């Protein structure tokens, strides 16, 4: 087992495309780190660089104390789970699992023992004589994971290993992976598109954009204290509401709404005339009392809105309301096109989403009053998107 | 007929007979026409081989009055026939081995790796397609004379396999490409080097393609004619069947019966092979048209 | 072998967590990334190509160079050391009326065979993609000539084309008194016979290749077209033809080259006779080299043939690419 250190990594593909643009990351021994980011941001590329399947253009990769930058994948002592499984089609499950061990001249009994153990743990027992072509998607997935497990490498690399599974199987495999990691404690780098996976599995989550790291933090911290507007908008579902607000008399003006600032926030805003304001959908409530902010530091802010769209989800409801302020865009185009709502929205207007309980059902077109805790307002620099919460609050005050 | 140019699978749910009468007529006209065109030489071979010499000397007709197998007896009784067949077989096998040994590694790197000179190599291979064996006969003749390859089957094999190689490389490249890269990458992570991957992943997975290519090389080698007729003219003991058949028409008194039997025996084995690899060749062709 | 010399990397920036955008790159640092391993990988690539390169070099490259060298020599056969005579051979060839006549015959032959083959093969391909009873057998029968040695085909066809033989016998069954044509002894008839055989041996493979192309046309295109009300003829012209064009170009070019170079059919059936009137450049070259033993002239001819083919092919490809871009 070992840590993984990436220092000054750059990857320029032969066609001139810079997929990783200078990246430093230290992954602790035994840590489970999850890479997330919009499609095409370089997650797979980074994983492949760690694996040695691609050579870095610049920078160094260390596994443990060892500089492996110039070593081949086999010399790095890693195991990888591919998104497409990449099982060997001409070998049965038993041979697939044993293949990597055979190469390493592991004694026959040890191979049998380990393969048997892993097969038992993953419920592959009666499948051992089948070839991948005769397995279901979930079974193939388990073989792919099993193939990595038997190797007992110092690092696991997993590229969206659960993405081809149905929702139910994904949940159980996720739990299985978490258990395995707890038991074996092997350093794991895990790529996913699934927020739940990222938040539940990761000791830390690394958010990437266009080949650069935006933030690396524990899931909770990433959610509570996003380093910039991109991370804020990327982590959390539904996504954080972000819009450009004008600073007026120490408060914010967001279209027709006035958003009061706390003292601390005012200090951080400083002399800026514009900031990006962010509010999480879940931080809205229909009653002032439901906004948990009664420690005296702030009082709930009232926001009268018109529910343009209402989605009833059973235990909760989402309402979408217009806000007369410019949208904030972060990230590449690909990240923005994910919901068509954003495509349709005119840039001068934003649509906010609130996630509310169902004690009172809101109807389409209804005017309602929402409440939120001003301390939960996120503020980002309108120029580079950096979080103002990270600035020393004392600077101005 | 042109009106019916749709892929078969596009009509899988309809029954075979489901087309207008006019089109059916055209279709069957086409089927009969092409069948006759293709089968004609074999019908000639059969018709001639089975007639007695007296019948052959008389007016031409298709169906033999009496089936006469004396030609076959004479063919099999002639010891030199076995030599011809042995030589054809040797040349075909030699061609296959050389083509595979040179073609498999080349096709593998061409399919999988980007490196300087790849384009150049491909272009050069393409240019060799402009060559006819005839164009190279004189320099090869001189070269073989110097190196002692003249009159030997090795010389024929070397020249023949070089002409078989380009198409084989191209076929193999297509088959290798159809193997997902991830499987190779997984093997690399599992600790295998290039040769290990070639022998444990690529080759086992491309067995159908390898077999097809080998058979193709075998057929070409079996049918070898120009190099054999030129380089082996003075070494009858090394001549293959094709040259044997050709040489016997130069004689005064041609035993057509025997000749046709030889041609039949010299053709049927490769026809069987060819019918086997049809599907693989088809797959190869489909990849060109899809522009890969 | 652990961690080979990468100490030069010590200057790498301090490892840390967080953003590291816009990090200026040291100009030389890109070459640092081109590790020895990478270079070694490239070299093994060449190693894999080596057997093929040796074989092709031995059979194509060296002899081509020899041919070019011989083309500028007076050289009468294998034991003649040869004397350099500049461009004399080329001049002689240029002034030889027979050369021009045979060049004309070569084009007659090539264009005749390729043209007819392309049309017939397209029709064959259309038949091949249909569904009908006995299709598997039909496919097998039709492909047979592609697997047959050209030498055998030529011998058998040559036999059948003899005046008192099966071709005339069969024709007599169709028309009144067609028998008795001396196919291979007189000129226009000999060309008809030769081109016929040339077409017969090239149609199968061409047809199969075109059929493969037709089969790879996505079926939904036809469905879309038939919803748009296109008849089957219209579908063929507007969908099948354009989408199989690449293959059509490939097969036409390949057939052109093969026919231009074709040897066994003419060599076996007529030997170029009567008096060179069915010769093409390839058979004439063989005659010059191995019957007249004029290695010098034959090599000159070989060089001319090669250059002509290269030029024609390039022109053809260029023309088509150009046309495709315009169209
Ligand atoms: N071999 C290559 N040559 C050139 N560009 C490449 C190559 N491989 C990947 N890229 C580009 O590099 C970028 C990052 O690709 P990568 O596969 O790492 O994305 P990703 O973050 O894994 O995306 P996804 O979530 O869709 O899997 C993409 O823009 C991709 O187009
Ligand atoms: Mg990816």
Kindly state whether residues B43 and B87 are assigned to the same domain: no
Closest CA relative to residue C25, chosen from B53, A53, A9: A9
What SS3 class is residue A386?
Answer: strand
Predicted pLDDT at C110: 94
Kindly state whether residues B53 and B142 are assigned to the same domain: no
Burial string for B58-86 (b: 16+ CB within 10 Å, else e) reads eebeeebeeebeebbeebeeeeebebbbe
Q: Does B235 touch chain C (CB under 8 A)?
A: no
Instruction: Assess if residue B54 is contained within a domain.
Output: yes
Instruction: Please compute the mean of the pLDDT values over residues A269-289 and round it to a whole number.
Output: 89
Q: List CB contacts (< 8 A) between B204 and chain A.
A: 90
Kindly state whether residues B132 and B53 are assigned to the same domain: no
Residue whose pair of structure tokens reads 């279709």 in the numeric block: B27
Find the closest chain A residue to B115 by CA distance.
A14
CATH classification of the domain holding C188: 1.10.3720.10
Closest CB to B191 among A84, A89, A100: A100
Query: By alpha-carbon position, which residue is closest to atom 4 of ligand 1?
Result: A13
Lining residues, ligand 1, CB within 6 Å: A 13, 15, 17, 19, 37, 39-45
* Ligand 1 atom, smallest distance to A38 CA: 25
Task: Provide long-range contacts, Cβ within 8 A and 24+ apart, for C88-95.
Answer: C89/C296, C89/C297, C89/C299, C89/C300, C90/C300, C90/C304, C92/C297, C93/C297, C93/C300, C93/C301, C93/C304
Would you write out chain B's pLDDT as a tens digit for each of its 292 residues?
Answer: 344 444 444 443 344 446 777 778 888 899 999 998 888 888 888 888 888 877 777 777 778 787 878 878 887 888 888 889 899 999 999 999 999 999 999 998 898 888 888 888 888 888 888 888 888 998 999 899 889 898 899 999 999 999 999 989 988 888 888 888 889 999 988 888 878 888 888 888 888 788 888 888 888 898 889 999 999 988 888 999 888 888 877 666 777 888 888 888 888 878 888 877 777 777 777 665 554 3
Predicted pLDDT at A41: 92
Q: Give the separation between CA A79 and CA A313, rounded to whole angstroms.
A: 40
Kindly state whether residues B138 and B51 are assigned to the same domain: no
| Structural domains counted in chain B | 2
Q: Give the separation between CA A216 and CA A6, rounded to whole angstroms.
A: 13
Predicted pLDDT at C14: 35
Instruction: Assess if residue C8 is contained within a domain.
Output: no
CA distance C246 to chain A (A): 27
Kindly state whether residues B86 and B184 are assigned to the same domain: yes
Cβ(C140)–Cβ(C208) below 8 Å: no
Find the closest chain A residue to C34 by CA distance.
A57
Q: How far apart are the first and last CA of chain C?
A: 58
Beta bridge partners of A67: A62
Q: Give the separation between CA B227 and CA B242, rounded to whole angstroms.
A: 11
CA distance B104 to chain A (A): 19
Q: Is the pLDDT of residue A185 over 50?
A: yes
B residues 94..113 contacting C (CB < 8 A): 98, 101-103, 105-106, 108-110, 113
Closest CA relative to residue B225, chosen from C149, A77, C313: C149
Chains with 3 or more CB pairs closer than 8 angstroms to A?
Answer: B, C
Q: List CB contacts (< 8 A) between C31 and chain A.
A: none
* Ligand 1 atom, smallest distance to A42 CA: 18
Kindly state whether residues B81 and B64 are assigned to the same domain: no
Torsion of CA A281, A286, A292, A297, to 10 degrees: 100
Pick from A17, A21, A56 the residue to mutate for probing ligand 1's pocket: most ligand atoms within 8 Å of its CB.
A17
Indicate the domain borders of chain A: 4-229, 230-395
Show the beta-strand stretches assigned E in chain C. 73-74, 83-84
Separation of CA A43 and ligand 2 centre (Å): 6
Beta bridge partners of A367: A306
* Ligand 1 atom, smallest distance to A15 CA: 4
Instruction: Assess if residue B109 is contained within a domain.
Output: yes
Separation of CA A59 and ligand 2 centre (Å): 21
DSSP sequence for A235-267? SSSSPPEEEEEEEETTEEEETTEEE---HHHHH
Query: By alpha-carbon position, which residue is closest to atom 29 of ligand 1?
Result: A40
Kindly state whether residues B80 and B47 are assigned to the same domain: no
Separation of CA B149 and ligand 2 centre (Å): 56
Residue A100 to residue B189, Cβ atoms within 8 A? yes
Q: Give the separation between CA C155 and CA C268, rounded to whole angstroms.
A: 6
Residues near B229 by beta carbon (within 8 Å), at least 6 away in sequence: B242, B243, B246, C151
Predicted pLDDT at B250: 66
Q: Is the pLDDT of residue C23 over 70?
A: no
Separation of CA A230 and ligand 2 centre (Å): 19
> Which ligand has the shortest distance to the CA of A36?
1
A295-327: pLDDT as tens digits: 655 678 889 999 999 998 888 999 999 988 888
Instruction: Please give the CATH architecture assigned to the domain spanning A4-229.
Output: 3-Layer(aba) Sandwich (3.40)
Residue B180 to residue A72, Cβ atoms within 8 A? no
Cβ(C163)–Cβ(C181) below 8 Å: yes
Q: Is the pLDDT of residue C11 over 50?
A: no
Query: By alpha-carbon position, which residue is closest to atom 3 of ligand 1?
Result: A13
Cβ-based interface (< 8 Å): residues of A facing C = 5-8, 10, 12, 21-26, 55-60, 66-72, 75, 212-216, 227
Instruction: Assess if residue C297 is contained within a domain.
Output: yes
Q: List CB contacts (< 8 A) between C214 and chain B.
A: 5, 7
CA distance B5 to chain A (A): 35
Query: By alpha-carbon position, which residue is closest to atom 24 of ligand 1?
Result: A39
* Ligand 1 atom, smallest distance to A211 CA: 14
Instruction: Assess if residue C254 is contained within a domain.
Output: yes
Predicted pLDDT at C4: 38
Predicted pLDDT at C16: 35
Cβ(A96)–Cβ(A87) below 8 Å: yes
Q: List CB contacts (< 8 A) between A85 and chain B.
A: 182
Give the DSSP H or E segment for B185: helix B181-189
Q: Give the separation between CA B106 and CA C51, rounded to whole angstroms.
A: 8
Torsion of CA B2, B6, B12, B15, to 10 degrees: -20
Q: List CB contacts (< 8 A) between C315 and chain B.
A: none
Predicted pLDDT at C17: 37
Query: By alpha-carbon position, which residue is closest to atom 14 of ligand 1?
Result: A42
Kindly state whether residues B106 and B57 are assigned to the same domain: no
> Which ligand has the shortest distance to the CA of A49?
1
Q: List CB contacts (< 8 A) between B185 and chain A.
A: 51, 53, 73, 80, 82, 86
Pick from A34, A39, A41 the residue to mutate for probing ligand 1's pocket: most ligand atoms within 8 Å of its CB.
A41
Predicted pLDDT at C78: 74
Structural domain harbouring C282: 83-326
CATH classification of the domain holding B196: 1.10.3720.10
Kindly state whether residues B147 and B226 are assigned to the same domain: yes
Of A12-21, A178-187, B123-132, C195-204, the range with the lowest mean pLDDT is B123-132
Length of chain C: 327
Predicted pLDDT at A391: 56
Residue C23 to residue A8, Cβ atoms within 8 A? yes
Query: By alpha-carbon position, which residue is closest to atom 31 of ligand 1?
Result: A40
Residue, of B193 and A144, whose pLDDT is higher: A144
* Ligand 1 atom, smallest distance to A37 CA: 21
Predicted pLDDT at A1: 64
Residues near A73 by beta carbon (within 8 Å), at least 6 away in sequence: A51, A52, A53, B185, B188, B189
| Structural domains counted in chain C | 1
Q: Does B192 touch chain C (CB under 8 A)?
A: no
Kindly state whether residues B112 and B216 are assigned to the same domain: yes
Find the closest chain B residue to C148 by CA distance.
B267
The full 3-state SS of A98-136, as one line of letters, equals HHHHHHCCCCHHHHHHHHHHHHHHCCCHHHCCCCHHHCC
Q: List CB contacts (< 8 A) between B192 and chain A.
A: 74, 103
Q: Is the pLDDT of residue C76 over 90?
A: no
Instruction: Assess if residue B16 is contained within a domain.
Output: no
- Provide ipTM, 2 decimals: 0.83
Give the DSSP H or E segment for A193: none
Residue, of C25 and A387, whose pLDDT is higher: A387
Predicted pLDDT at C177: 52
CB atoms within 10 A of CB A190: 27
Instruction: Please compute the mean of the pLDDT values over residues A245-273 and round it to a whole number.
Output: 87
A207-243: pLDDT as tens digits: 999 999 999 999 999 999 999 999 998 998 888 999 9
Q: Does C107 touch chain B (CB under 8 A)?
A: no
C178-194: pLDDT as tens digits: 557 777 878 888 999 99
Of B155-159, C209-213, C317-321, the range with the lowest mean pLDDT is C317-321
Beta bridge partners of A309: A320
Q: Does A150 touch chain B (CB under 8 A)?
A: no
Instruction: Please compute the mean of the pLDDT values over residues A9-16 and round it to a whole number.
Output: 91
Kindly state whether residues B48 and B122 are assigned to the same domain: no
* Ligand 1 atom, smallest distance to A47 CA: 18
Q: List CB contacts (< 8 A) between C48 and chain B.
A: 105-106, 108-109
Q: What percent of chain A has pLDDT over 90?
A: 37
Structural domain harbouring B32: 28-68
Q: Give the separation between CA C194 and CA C198, rounded to whole angstroms.
A: 6
Q: Is the pLDDT of residue A393 over 50?
A: no
CA distance C3 to chain B (A): 17
């Amino acid at each position: 087992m070992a840590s993984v250190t990436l220092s000054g990594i750059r990857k320029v593909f032969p066609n001139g495309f810079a997929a990783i643009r200078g990246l430093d990351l230290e992954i602790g021994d035994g840590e489970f780190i999850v890479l997330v980011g919009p499609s095409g941001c370089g997650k797979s590329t980074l994983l492949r660089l760690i694996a040695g399947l691609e050579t870095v253009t610049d920078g160094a990769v260390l596994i443990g104390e060892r500089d492996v930058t110039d070593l081949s994948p086999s010399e790095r002592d890693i195991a990888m789970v591919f998104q497409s499984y990449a099982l060997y089609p001409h070998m049965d499950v038993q041979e697939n699992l044993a293949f990597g061990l055979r190469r390493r001249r592991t004694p026959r009994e040890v191979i049998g023992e380990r393969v048997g153990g892993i097969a038992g743990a993953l419920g592959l027992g009666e499948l051992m004589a089948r070839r991948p072509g005769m397995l279901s998607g979930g079974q193939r997935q388990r073989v792919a994971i099993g193939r990595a497990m038997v190797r007992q490498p110092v690092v696991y690399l997993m590229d969206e290993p659960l993405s081809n599974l149905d929702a139910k199987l994904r949940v159980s495999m996720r739990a299985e992976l978490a258990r395995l990691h707890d038991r074996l404690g092997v350093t794991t780098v895990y790529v996913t598109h699934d927020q739940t996976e990222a938040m539940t599995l990761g000791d830390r989550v690394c958010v990437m954009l266009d080949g650069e790291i935006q933030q690396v933090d524990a899931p909770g911290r990433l959610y509570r204290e996003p380093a910039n507007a991109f991370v804020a908008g990327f982590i959390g579902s539904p996504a954080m509401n972000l819009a450009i607000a004008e600073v007026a008399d120490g408060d914010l003006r967001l279209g027709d709404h006035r958003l009061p600032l706390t003292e601390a926030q005012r200090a951080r805003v400083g002399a800026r005339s514009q900031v990006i304001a962010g509010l999480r959908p879940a931080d809205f409530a229909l009653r002032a009392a439901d906004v948990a902010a009664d420690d005296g530091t702030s009082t709930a802010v009232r926001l009268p809105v018109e529910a343009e769209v209402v989605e009833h989800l059973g235990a909760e409801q989402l309402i979408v309301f217009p806000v007369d302020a410019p949208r904030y865009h972060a990230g590449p185009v690909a990240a923005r096109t994910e919901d068509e709502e954003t495509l349709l929205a005119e840039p001068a207007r934003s649509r906010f989403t609130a996630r509310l309980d169902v004690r009172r059902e809101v109807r389409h077109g209804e005017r309602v009053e929402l409440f939120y805790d001003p301390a939960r307002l996120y503020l980002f620099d309108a120029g580079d998107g950096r979080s103002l919460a990270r600035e020393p609050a004392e600077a101005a005050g | 007929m042109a009106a019916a140019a749709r892929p078969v699978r596009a009509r899988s749910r309809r029954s075979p007979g489901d087309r207008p009468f006019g089109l059916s007529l055209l279709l069957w006209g086409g089927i009969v026409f092409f069948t006759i065109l293709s089968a004609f030489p074999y019908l000639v071979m059969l018709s001639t081989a089975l007639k007695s010499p007296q019948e052959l000397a008389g007016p031409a007709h298709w169906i033999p009055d009496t089936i006469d197998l004396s030609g076959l007896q004479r063919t099999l009784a002639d010891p030199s026939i076995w030599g011809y067949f042995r030589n054809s077989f040797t040349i075909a096998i030699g061609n296959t081995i050389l083509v595979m040994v040179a073609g498999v590694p080349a096709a593998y790197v061409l399919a999988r790796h980007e490196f300087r000179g790849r384009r150049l190599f491909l272009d050069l291979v393409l240019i060799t397609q402009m060559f006819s064996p005839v164009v190279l006969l004189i320099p090869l003749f001189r070269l073989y004379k110097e190196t002692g390859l003249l009159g030997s089957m090795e010389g024929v094999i070397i020249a023949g396999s070089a002409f078989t190689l380009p198409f084989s490389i191209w076929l193999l490249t297509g088959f290798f490409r159809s193997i997902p890269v991830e499987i190779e990458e997984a093997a690399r992570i599992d600790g295998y080097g290039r040769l290990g991957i070639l022998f444990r992943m690529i080759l086992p997975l491309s067995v159908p393609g390898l077999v097809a290519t080998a058979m193709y090389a075998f057929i070409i080698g079996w049918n070898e004619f120009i190099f054999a007729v030129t380089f082996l003219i003075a070494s009858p003991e090394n001549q293959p069947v094709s040259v044997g058949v050709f040489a016997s028409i130069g004689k005064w008194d041609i035993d057509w019966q025997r000749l046709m039997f030889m041609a039949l025996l010299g053709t049927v084995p490769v026809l069987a092979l060819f019918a086997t690899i049809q599907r693989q060749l088809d797959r190869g062709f489909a990849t060109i048209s899809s522009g890969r | 072998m652990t961690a080979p010399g990468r100490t030069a990397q010590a200057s790498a920036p301090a490892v840390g967590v967080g953003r590291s955008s816009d990090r200026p790159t040291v100009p030389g640092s890109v070459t640092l990334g081109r590790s020895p391993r990478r270079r070694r990988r490239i070299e093994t690539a060449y190693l894999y190509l080596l057997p093929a390169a040796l074989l092709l070099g031995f059979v194509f490259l060296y002899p081509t160079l020899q041919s070019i060298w011989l083309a500028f020599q007076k050289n009468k056969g294998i034991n003649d050391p040869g004397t350099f005579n500049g461009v004399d051979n080329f001049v002689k060839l240029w002034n030889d009326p027979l050369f021009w006549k045979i060049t004309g015959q070569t084009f007659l032959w090539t264009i005749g065979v390729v043209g007819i083959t392309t049309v017939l093969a397209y029709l064959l391909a259309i038949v091949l993609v249909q569904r009908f009873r006995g299709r598997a057998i039909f496919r097998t029968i039709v492909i047979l000539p592609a697997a047959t040695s050209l030498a055998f085909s030529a011998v058998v066809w040559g036999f059948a084309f003899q005046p008192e033989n099966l071709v005339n016998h069969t024709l007599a069954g169709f028309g009144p008194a067609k028998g008795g044509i001396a196919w291979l002894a007189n000129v226009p008839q000999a060309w008809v016979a030769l081109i016929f055989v040339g077409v017969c041996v090239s149609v199968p493979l061409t047809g199969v290749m075109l059929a493969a192309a037709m089969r790879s046309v996505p079926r939904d295109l036809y469905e879309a077209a038939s919803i748009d009300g296109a008849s089957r003829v219209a579908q063929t012209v507007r969908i099948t033809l354009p989408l199989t064009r690449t293959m059509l170009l490939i097969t036409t070019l390949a057939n052109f080259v093969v026919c231009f170079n074709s040897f066994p059919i003419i060599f076996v059936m007529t030997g170029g006779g009567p008096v060179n009137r069915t010769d093409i450049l390839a058979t004439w070259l063989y005659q010059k080299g191995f019957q007249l033993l004029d290695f010098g002239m034959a090599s000159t001819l070989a060089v001319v043939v090669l250059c002509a083919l290269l030029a024609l092919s390039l022109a053809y490809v260029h023309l088509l690419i150009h046309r495709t871009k315009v169209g």
